[in-house]
A and B are shown apart, each in its own frame.
Chain A
Amino acid sequence: MKPRIELPGLAPLLVLLATASMALLIVMPLGMVFAEAFRNGIAGYLEPLREPDAWAAIRLTLLVAAISVPLNAVFGIAAAWSIAKFEFKGKSILLALIDLPFSISPVISGLVWVLLFGAQGWFGPMLEEAGIKVIFTTTGLVLATILVTLPFVARELIPLMQEQGTDEEAAAITLGAGGLTTFFLVTLPNIRWALLYGVLLCNARAMGEFGAVSVVSGHIRGLTNTLPLHVEILYNEYDFVGAFAAASLLATLGLVTLIVKTGLELRYAGEMRAMRRH
């Protein structure tokens, strides 16, 4: 191994500086969530979580994620199959379009649905007559969440499947396997860890999304309040322990996601090789 530049003399100072700024800026907020949530002890922590509104918020958050994440997973697989396994014109435009939601403000990702389906939206009055409501309903929450989390799965799968090429699938087809058999027995095993990784990140964002759902929700308690919105309402009512108790559930979700993600990266780095970090 050739020597690298390491500034050995400065090592302790630099490590200390980096660790201290990370602790102050990144880790402290996480600690604060739990410290505030348990301010009144375990009983004080559990009480706000027993409220029916909290339960309704948890159920709604799970429901929205249960609809949005599978749809975006299917989309990610379909997009990766067409982009990575075939050659066609206009591919780079398609790739840019898939990445676009990442560079849009979550508030804009909610706004666009109001522009389409709100009371003064393009299709709002028309749907209203037909008795269909989108804004201030679960449908609106799902649409906003899907838009925000659309790229997660596709982004993990496309580079990996591009790197893997088409040889294995072509061999299977030539030997007489059908399309679905080829997909389930050849492609899927090759991409399963990257798929799981993408779904994991997609789910974390879907359950934690705040800005986009805040625009379309209308904040109707027990009906269109997801867990992050529930946190906001309690906080604005100065129920800080309640807000941080609800927030601690979301923080735990984030922590579990982080641990599983790190585990996947350490264990299956090879099989997710083309995977780029954010």
Chain B
Amino acid sequence: MAASKGWGRWREPSVLPGFGLAMGFTLVYLSVIVLIPLVALALRPWELGIDGVARTLSDPRVLAALKLSFGASALAAAVNAPLGLLVAWVLTRYHFPGRRLLDALVDLPFALPTAVAGIALTAIYASNGPVGALADKVGLKTAFSPLGVFIALLFIGLPFVVRSVQPVLEDFDREVEEAARTLGATDLQRIVRVVLPGVLPALLTGVGLAFARAVGEYGSVIFIAGNLPMVSEIAPLLIIIKLEQYDYAGAAAVGLAMLLISFGVLLALNLVQTFLARRGGR
């Protein structure tokens, strides 16, 4: 096999120095910071036994939290898809005063610390805030409800969609767009039949990133959520509550479940992308 010559076959020869040192440091650092901690996360839930893990995860409060975290994240990512597409389209196709500024502001949710975003969103959507007061008049409770969780996740996810779609729209093949036009397609036909299929893989990537970020989001959500058990309590908060009760294994079980479900969803999205790529020949 390839490994029969050991080190020499494992890596190809190079005149450059420093591989051993750089690689050694990289591996030690990664092991200490990422690998060993994740091994602890993967192993500690089982101190409860399989029964105990099942009991922890089927607790109605845990189930409600997981359902809220994943449901609100999926909904926010789904709404961010057309919204992000719109913003990316406007930024790449039109020239208008303030376009550069708008472009830079897309990254604001990345740049603003999550706790800051959290208290600001709460001030806006609480019933004495500018938007919350309006919503109150029509009988809609925004802050301190699942709707508040959704709004925070919308905020945190938008840049992922815009930044994934934007470069594709920018580099989109002019020849293809032009060919469709000479063949007599209307603008709408060209968008639906030519541009949309072209950006779909990137759009899915963005939606996946927004979803993954939203599932684990904590800072921007807990202030606006109100954190009512069974109603507006997110899964990450439940981990903290379990830790405060010294239920380490239970906290690890919820964390591991979150991680595995997230990876499952991302894997499924990846498969859809591969399928689309094969069908589209891209």
- Give me the interface of A with B, judged by CB distance under 8 Å: 1-7, 11, 14-15, 17-19, 21-22, 24-30, 32-33, 36, 74-75, 78-79, 81-83, 85-89, 94, 97-98, 100-101, 103-108, 111-116, 118-122, 143, 146-147, 150, 166, 169-170, 173-174, 178-179, 182-183, 201, 204, 207-211, 214-215, 228-229, 231-232, 235, 240, 243-244, 247, 250-251, 253-255, 257-259, 261-262, 277-278
Contact = CB atoms under 8 A, between A and B. Distances in A.
Q: Is the interface of B mostly helix, strand, loop or mixed?
A: helix
A177 B187 CA distance: 59
Interface stretch (B50-58, B140-148, B255-263, B274-282): B255-263
Interface of B: 2, 10-12, 14-19, 21-23, 25-26, 29-30, 33-38, 40-41, 44, 83, 86-87, 89-91, 93-94, 96, 98, 102, 104-117, 119-121, 123-124, 129-131, 154-155, 158-160, 163, 166-167, 172, 174-175, 177-178, 181, 187, 190-191, 194-195, 209, 212, 215-219, 223, 236-237, 239-240, 243, 246, 248, 251-252, 255, 258-259, 262-263, 266
B83 to A, nearest CB: 6
Contacts, number: 300
A118 B107 CA distance: 36
Q: Is the interface of A mostly helix, strand, loop or mixed?
A: helix
A243 B90 CA distance: 36
A261 B86 contact: no
B93 A211 contact: no
Given A89-B11, A254-B108, A278-B160, A209 B29 contact: no
A75 B29 contact: yes
A254 B113 contact: yes
B93 A150 contact: no
B236 A105 contact: yes
Contact of B19 (A14, A82, A147, A257): A82
B193 to A, nearest CB: 11
Given A7-B187, A108-B41, A111-B251, A97 B155 contact: no
Contact of B255 (A22, A36, A111): A111
A38 B243 CA distance: 37
Nearest to A247: B116
A94 B30 CA distance: 9
Contact of A14 (B90, B121, B209, B218): B90
Contacts of A3: 177-178, 181
